[in-house]
Structure 1
């Protein structure tokens, strides 16, 4: 079994416009190591989310992958290039091997469905053989992210932002995938709840053995959570390294600017 769960080689993504293609991701080469938490950092517009949706095969027109390969190495299965799979083969991989924690927990849950029914939608679509264990599985998954079993009977409007995010986290790991891609998991949450969410993400790695790719513009998130961090600027990787080393001795000027943007207690705004 490969030490890398994901091997990205020369990935190129562009958006078609009336003036021609605009490159959003430019020649990305990156390995995601099995069992790690890899942070993807960069300001808005750097290509972080485009990278995520391209890997997940969720890219919509006018976006298009124009080059490269993405070798996915799920445990117990043959390696597969995610850019070449289609139809049933792709459906089988989703959630059981490759999962997504979307940006914007406030709008990612169906407002007219109870939480338990949203779990059932995912599990029965991708693992129908688990139908008879749902009454035990759903409360256990909610418990893994610090939520009580009663949450399963609630509607999204009855949950706080932090609770919604934790429900999404539980759904993302429902079928114990190899890799979860989390896109801005702390967006629109207050600082106290952000800390809870970050700890819950770290616990998912411990409890499920899942590999996490965490996309965030907030370098503070990566400092608290990631093992390694990859910094993107204008669609390119400008620095990749151990998170402690990157923060201690950043090699790229853009990385230094991102680190310096973290608010510091006692520092006055200029």
Structure 2
């Protein structure tokens, strides 16, 4: 793996046990994520996108299990590590400081009885207690970098709109300047105007922090606006990976063409 690759997935298989037998949700997946890029993971619901995300983050819950493969992660200035083989303290240290997660559903991802500033403190002090004295400066600065005013730090989640909650989560994700952020459906349940704000904020995070982003979305319009490369998943497999402009211009797989054709176009009548 080269120094320009932050994540290398090889032969990854994720299986769910059911009453009718095992179902393979991710099937022999190979994928490289380049340092500093925004990589999109596209596909319809059930294609395996979110299962891939939680498997990479070691957040997979039973009856799901990883049955094969490796996930080699290369944090800047550190030795490569196979995320599927680390446990306990080593895994805890990697999370947030080197690898963080922007989950689906910002509405349910913040503690409703804690002020925003306290939720920042929980994450930062758990993983970087030496930054305690800098918190009063860090929190307003992080909020500002996602377009939120300092007063948001003193608010509770119920006082924020859906888009504001999503931006708070984005700020928490990059608080410790991780190498890689995995964002799972970051624009779900947001209106079109707010979606645009979130996409711009994600692009700004890459620019301001140099963070690598893996953005998972069923919406090809999101990928068209944001990512550098797009990887298309179908039934647990990657069917196409390439430069986003080239993929949209000349898709090589029929499923990719169908996803692109699903983007609403002005003047098109519903059938």
**What range is the shorter-chain TM-score in?**
over 0.9
Compute the displacement of 1:21 (Å).
1.1
Return the alpha-carbon distance in structure 2 between the equivalents of residues 170 and 205 of structure 1: 12
1:224-239 correspondence runs (5 A) = 224-239=225-240
3-state secondary structure, aligned to 1:75: coil
Match of 1:208 in 2: 209
Compute the displacement of 1:19 (Å).
2.2
Return the alpha-carbon distance in structure 1 between the equivalents of residues 215 and 113 of structure 2: 29
Match of 1:65 in 2: 66
Return the alpha-carbon distance in structure 1 between the equivalents of residues 59 and 3 of structure 2: 25
- Normalising by structure 2, what TM-score? 0.99
Compute the displacement of 1:17 (Å).
1.2
Match of 2:80 in 1: 79
3-state secondary structure, aligned to 2:133: helix
Match of 1:217 in 2: 218
Match of 2:150 in 1: 149
Compute the displacement of 1:20 (Å).
1.8
Return the alpha-carbon distance in structure 2 between the equivalents of residues 20 and 133 of structure 1: 52
Match of 2:126 in 1: 125
Compute the displacement of 1:254 (Å).
0.1
1:171 maps onto 2:172 in alignment: yes
Match of 2:115 in 1: 114
3-state secondary structure, aligned to 2:183: strand
Return the alpha-carbon distance in structure 2 between the equivalents of residues 258 and 160 of structure 1: 30
Please list the CA deviations of residues 14-35 of structure 1 after superposition, one character each: whole Å capped at 9, or x if unmatched.
0011222110000000000000
Please list the CA deviations of residues 134-183 of structure 1 after superposition, one character each: whole Å capped at 9, or x if unmatched.
00000000000000000000000000000000000000000000000000
Where in structure 2 are there 5+ consecutive unaligned residues? none
Return the alpha-carbon distance in structure 2 between the equivalents of residues 67 and 19 of structure 1: 21
Match of 2:40 in 1: 39
Return the alpha-carbon distance in structure 2 between the equivalents of residues 4 and 250 of structure 1: 25
Return the alpha-carbon distance in structure 2 between the equivalents of residues 198 and 179 of structure 1: 17
Match of 1:98 in 2: 99
Please list the CA deviations of residues 106-133 of structure 1 after superposition, one character each: whole Å capped at 9, or x if unmatched.
1110000000000001000000000010
1:177-216 correspondence runs (5 A) = 177-216=178-217
Return the alpha-carbon distance in structure 2 between the equivalents of residues 192 and 19 of structure 1: 43
Match of 1:55 in 2: 56
Match of 2:16 in 1: 15
- Normalising by structure 1, what TM-score? 0.99
Please list the CA deviations of residues 49-99 of structure 1 after superposition, one character each: whole Å capped at 9, or x if unmatched.
000000000000000000000000000111000000000000000000000
Return the alpha-carbon distance in structure 1 between the equivalents of residues 242 and 178 of structure 2: 25
3-state secondary structure, aligned to 1:111: coil
Return the alpha-carbon distance in structure 1 between the equivalents of residues 15 and 266 of structure 2: 40
3-state secondary structure, aligned to 2:214: strand
Give the alignment's Cα RMSD to 1 decimal. 0.6
